Amino acid sequence: MIPPFLEANDIYLRPLLPEDADGPYLNWFNDDVVCQGNSHHVVPYTYQAAQAYIDKAQTFDSQLVLAVVLQEGHKHIGNVALLRIDFISRSSEFAIVIGEKDCWGKGYSKQAARLIFDHAFFTINLKRIYCGTFETNITMKKLAEFMGMREEGRRRNAAFKNNGYVDIIEFGVLRDEYIFQPPKPA
C-alpha cells in the first residue's frame, strides 16, 4: 500500500497506480449513470486507455491527478485532479469523479475537493481554480458552490449529451475568496 498523500476524515488521496486499472476504475467511465454529468461514455473505456492515463498521471507537469480512497478498507472510489496547471497565471482546472455509486451522497467529494483546493492554494501557490460542468449536473454545481466558486459564465450548447445539446456552466474561485482559509498563525 502506498502511503496517503493528503488525508481527511473518511478519505485520503494518493497517486494513481497501474493496478488501479485492474479494479473498479475501468468500469466508471463505461457506466452511463456515472457519466451522465460529464463528457465520458462516448467510446468504450479500455484497459489500455486506463493504463495510458494512469501512466501520464504519474508525471507532474501540468496536472495533478490523485485517487480518492476510503480510509476504511482502502477502496479506490474516485479521482480528483488539478488539470491544465498554468504556473505563469497561477491557475488550474478542477475535476472530480466519484465512480462508486454506493459512495455518492456521503460527503466524500467535498472532502476530496477541500484537500486538493487547500493543496493548490497553500502548497502549489495557485491564485485561481476553475471548472466547467453541464448545466444538468446538479451535483457538480452544488460542489462548486460549496467550495466557494462563483458562476463566471455559460457556454451555450457547448456539449452534446443524451441526444441533446447542453450548456456548460463555468465556475471559478480566487485564493482570497476561498472559504476554507487556514487559520492565521498566532
Chain segment 105-151, per-residue pLDDT in tens: 999 999 999 999 999 999 999 999 999 999 999 999 999 999 999 99
First-to-last CA distance in the chain? 37
What pLDDT, on the 0 to 100 scale, is given for residue 182?
54
CA angle 124, 126, 130 (to 5 degrees): 125
Q: For residue range 5-42, what is the model confidence (pLDDT) as tens digits?
A: 999 999 999 999 999 999 888 899 888 888 777 777 66
Beta bridge partners of 68: 13, 78
Whether residue 166 contacts residue 132, with contact meaning beta carbons closer than 8 Å, is answered with no
Helix (H, G, I), strand (E, B) or coil at 11: strand
Q: Residue 115 and residue 45: Cα distance in Å, rounded?
A: 28
pTM of the model: 0.91
Q: Mean pLDDT score of the chain, rounded to an integer?
A: 91
Is the confidence at residue 181, as pLDDT, over 60? no
Q: Where residue 185 falls among pLDDT bands split at 50, 70, 90?
A: low
SS3 track for 59-102: CCCCCEEEEEEECCCCCEEEEEEEEEEECCCCEEEEEEEECCHH
8 A C-beta contact, residue 93 and residue 41: no
Query: Which residue has 488525508 as its cell numbers?
Result: 7
